[in-house]
Structure 1
Amino acid sequence: MSKHIVITGTSRGIGYELALQFANNGHKVLALSRNTSSLAKVSHENITTIATDISKEDDILNAADFVKNQWNSTVDILVNNAGMLINKPFHELTTDDFLKVYQVNVFGVASLTKSLLPFMKSGSHVVTISSMGGIQGSMKFPGLAAYSSAKGAVITLSELLAEEYKEQQVAFNVLAIGAVQTEMLEEAFPGYQAPLSPTEMADYIYNFSLTGNKFYNGKVLQVSSSTP
């Protein structure tokens, strides 16, 4: 049965591959990213792209209006995938750097989720993509104070929302992913080779988004093969 899926950060990497996977399997996809050209070129009948900066309230309202008017006020799955990473030594990080990272990785997630929740019925699933760097006790990397702390914040946010919306039976889960060979990773850590491709990770997220809420709510799954 076809579902209505909203995905952020779809211009490249995991989000791009995920949008195609859902669309190719017959689901309706609303793809939100600042740059829509890559998916627009694909011109898939099941994908609608809207240029969206999730740190801007007006852009989020546009997306919500589309759902209300074109999708009969229905969202089955929201994948909060958009992310911003700044890699700088802590003493060089400015308040503005922190704000930029938190605007996308935390405030944007909260704002978009809040706007779409009225369209989510029992059985809907909100999946937020976090990072192993946001897990307490995990290995940390210098230079990621803003990014990893934001990814930690969004984990706690999801746990709270799972509790707050459990009676409506809307599930909230987090996938804290390890390194994936995306453009964002390459820009932050040139030359680093990750163990997984965006397509492989998108395949995992696709299946979890459709079925994970049957087994989990308010949980953080560590999607990483590295030890510790």
Structure 2
Amino acid sequence: MKNVVITGTSRGIGFEMVKLFADAGYQVLALSRNTASVEALGYSNVHSFTFDLSKDESFDTLSEFVASTWDSKVDVLINNAGAIVNKPFKDISQDEFLKVYQVNVFGVAKTIQTLLPFMNTNSHVVSVSSMGGIQGSMKFLGLAAYSSSKGAIITLSELLAEEYKDNGPSFNVLALGAVQTEMLQEAFPGYKAPILPEEMASYIKEFALTGAKFYNGKVLEVSSTTP
């Protein structure tokens, strides 16, 4: 059965994906700074430890886990963790900009670098982006840091797909529209999204398992609305 690594699993889409993959019998490594919600699920095939995308020691622990527990094999990586700040551009501090990029770009790149030695041509890396990161899409005030970071991960994935097309995993991006998550509510209080986290989680799960056969270096827009 496949070994699946998911980041950003304490709530929202990531949390729902953990349940879906676990229920289907896959081995799941759920990575988040807060592990309480995942541990409370009680799955024997779900592993978790505190994971901070800004801490080098977290990546050391990740590498050690895969080598020792999963016999050095990762079949699916889903870069789901995300950070957002909703402020006018002139009010966003450098620290806030850096925090968003640390999670949405630098942390994704480091996670991929850490797990590449354990992946092969049949492995699949899926990064969760946003419609806000798509060139030419409608843009929204206050999301300069968030949307630009989501655009960066699209370009990074395209580059990696080319670099590893002969002997590495497939790299694809899902640019999501609005989903009714806690992060959305924190950024846009009162906004009602048309898609529930468990619905999007189900879509991402199936794409992560089957999409590499049909796509590599592609970004798919997954949105019934704009945003």
Q: Distance in 2 between matches of 1:145 and 1:75?
A: 34
1:1-228 matches, within 5 Å, as 2-226=1-225
Once the two structures are TM-superposed, the CA of residue 4 in structure 1 deviates from its matched residue by 0.1
Structure 2 alignment gaps of length 5 or more: none
Contact 2:138/2:226 (<8 A) preserved: no
- Measured at CA, do residues 106 and 72 of structure 1 come closer, stay the same or move farther in structure 2, by a change above 3 Å? same
2:155 partner letter = T
Q: SS in structure 1 opposite 2:40?
A: helix
Moved over 6 A (4+): none
Deviations 1:122-151 (A, max 9, x none): 210000000000000001110000000000
Structure 1 alignment gaps of length 5 or more: none
2:145 partner letter = A
Deviations 1:138-186 (A, max 9, x none): 0111000000000000000000000010011410000000000000000
Q: Distance in 1 between matches of 2:163 and 2:18?
A: 28
Which stretch shows the higher mean deviation, 57-66 or 105-114?
Answer: 57-66
Q: Aligned pair count?
A: 227
Q: SS in structure 2 opposite 1:127?
A: strand
Once the two structures are TM-superposed, the CA of residue 192 in structure 1 deviates from its matched residue by 0.2
RMSD (Å) for aligned C-alpha atoms: 0.9
Q: Distance in 2 between matches of 1:149 and 1:14?
A: 21
Q: SS in structure 2 opposite 1:130?
A: strand
Contact 2:8/2:82 (<8 A) preserved: yes
Q: Distance in 2 between matches of 1:97 and 1:89?
A: 12
Q: Percent identity?
A: 63
Once the two structures are TM-superposed, the CA of residue 44 in structure 1 deviates from its matched residue by 0.5
Q: SS in structure 2 opposite 1:168?
A: coil
Q: Distance in 2 between matches of 1:43 and 1:54?
A: 24
TM-score (norm 1): 0.98
Once the two structures are TM-superposed, the CA of residue 95 in structure 1 deviates from its matched residue by 1.1
Once the two structures are TM-superposed, the CA of residue 227 in structure 1 deviates from its matched residue by 5.3
Q: SS in structure 2 opposite 1:123?
A: coil
Q: SS in structure 1 opposite 2:166?
A: helix
Q: Distance in 1 between matches of 2:115 and 2:169?
A: 12
Q: Distance in 2 between matches of 1:151 and 1:55?
A: 17
Deviations 1:43-99 (A, max 9, x none): 101100111011211111111110011000000000000000011111101111110
TM-score (norm 2): 0.99
Q: SS in structure 1 opposite 2:171?
A: strand
